[in-house]
Amino acid sequence: MQSSCRICGGVVLKSIDLGQQPRGNGFLLPRDVENELTFHLTMGLCGSCTMAQLQGEVPQELRYHESYPYHASVSAVHREHFEGNARYFLEHELTGPDPFIVEIGSNDGVMLATIAQAGVRHLGVEPSKEVAELSMARGVRVLSEFFDETTATKIRLEHGPADVIFGANCIAHIAHLASVCRGVESLLGPDGVFVFEEPYFGAVVDNTAFDMIYDEHSFYFAVRSIKAMAERFGLELVNAEPLPLHGGTMRYTLGRPGMRTPAPAVAEFLDEERARGLGEHETLLRFSARVERIRDDLNALLARIRAEGHRVVGYGAPAKTTTVTNYCGIGPDQIPYVVDNTPAKQGRLVPGTHIPVLPPSAFHEDYPEYALLFAWNHAEEIMAKETAFRDRGGRWILYVPDVHVL
C-alpha cells in the first residue's frame, strides 16, 4: 500500500498494520455501540522526508468533538510540567514590552493559566468546546477553532505577531500540518519561536510502543523529519530536547532562519538517527514483527492467568487502551473492566472492545490479583499511589517494551 506524504508529497510505504480500529478516544455509551465508527489503521514512512504518518485519516471534527474526554490537568506530573513550561517562557521568551503567546491545542488551560495569572497577553486555540470552557473558567482567553493558516492570519490581524507559539501533544495530531506550518510562519514574530512537544518516534520504536499509534496521531516526529519539515515551510530547527513524558518525548524549537544559532543537540540527534536507521522502511518492518510478538505473548499470559483462576483488570483508559485491546482482541471476557480517574470516561465503554470504564473506587473495593497497566507512561506515578494493591499481593502487567509482570 502506498500513499502521498502530507508534508512533501513523497511516496509513503505502509510499514505497520494494526487492523480495524475505532477512534482512540471514542469512548461510548452502551446505547451508542451500534453506531460506532471504525477504520483500517496503518502507518507508513515517507521515502523522501522520512516523516512517519498514518495512511488515511478520521475527520478531525469526529476526533475533537465537544465532549472530547482528555483533560491534561488530571495528571499531577503533567500539571507540574506545563506550569514549568509557562514559567520558562515568562522568564526567557516573554520579556519584551508587550509579549504575546499563542498555544495550539490549549486543552483545559493547564499551561496558559500561569501565563494569564502573570498578566501576559495570550490566546489558546482549542477546537473542543468542553475543555475550552474549562480553560476559560481559569481566566484563559480561548479561541475555539482549529488552528490553520486562515486562523493564524486572523489572529495576527487582531493581536499582532506572536513571540511564542506553543503546542504539546497536539501538533502531531493535526492532519493538515502543512497548513499549520504556513500559519506558524505567518504568525511568528521576527525573533519568535515555535515550540512543540510530541512523543519521540525514536522512543516509540525503541519501546515497541505500538499503542501510541491511533487515529489522533496523524504524524510521528523525529528530529530528521522535523528539520526537513521546518525547511520546507521557511523555518529552521534550532533545538531538540528529550523529555521523560509519555515514555519519551522530544521538545522541538523552530525559529526564523538565521535568527538563532542551532543547539549542538540538533546535529547530534541527526547523526544518531541516521546510525539507527530511524528513517528507513526496514527498521519499521522489524518494529512490526516485535509488535506481533507482544500481541501473542500478552494473549498467552492472560489465558494462563485465567486458567489459574485469577482476575485481571485494566488500569488507566488512555487512547492507547483502544489500540492494544482491539489489536490483541482483548474484551470483557479477559478484562471485565478498566478503571480511570477521568470522570468523562467513567460509565462508558472502551472503543471497539466495549470493556466498561469504571472509577478507581471499583479497583480499591475489590483488588484483583493482576492489573494490566494501559497508562504505562504514568507507571511511576500510578504505582506510588497504589501501594495497597502491591501490599495485598497484586501484580502489574506491562507490555512495553515487552510483556512482563512486576
- Residues contacting 234, CB < 8 A, separation 6+: 185, 256, 257
Average pLDDT of the segment spanning 23-42: 93
The answer, as to whether pTM is greater than 0.95, is no
* Lowest-pLDDT range of 243-252, 309-318, 382-391: 243-252
C-alpha cell at 396: 502489574
First-to-final CA distance of the chain: 39
User: Looking at per-residue confidence, does 62 or 4 come out higher?
Assistant: 4
How big is the CA angle at 284 (ends 280 and 288), to the nearest 5 degrees?
A: 165
- Residues contacting 355, CB < 8 A, separation 6+: 314, 325, 330, 331, 332, 335, 336, 337, 338, 349
Predicted confidence (pLDDT) at residue 366 exceeds the cutoff of 80: yes
Please name the residue that has the C-alpha cell 498555544: 103
- The residue extents of the domains of the chain are 72-282
Q: Which of 167-171, 264-268, 380-384 is the most confident on average?
A: 264-268
Closest to 246 measured CA to CA, from 195, 314, 200, 295: 200
pLDDT tens, residue by residue, 184-216: 999 999 999 999 999 999 999 999 999 999 998
SS3 (DSSP) at 188:
strand
* Lowest-pLDDT range of 1-5, 6-10, 56-60, 298-302: 56-60
pLDDT tens, residue by residue, 51-84: 999 997 766 655 454 455 555 555 677 788 889 9
Q: What is the DSSP string of 16-41?
A: EEEEEEE-TT--B-GGGGGG--EEEE
Predicted confidence (pLDDT) at residue 364 exceeds the cutoff of 80: yes
Fold classification of 72-282 is Rossmann fold (3.40.50)
- Residues contacting 67, CB < 8 A, separation 6+: 128, 130, 344
pLDDT at 65: 45
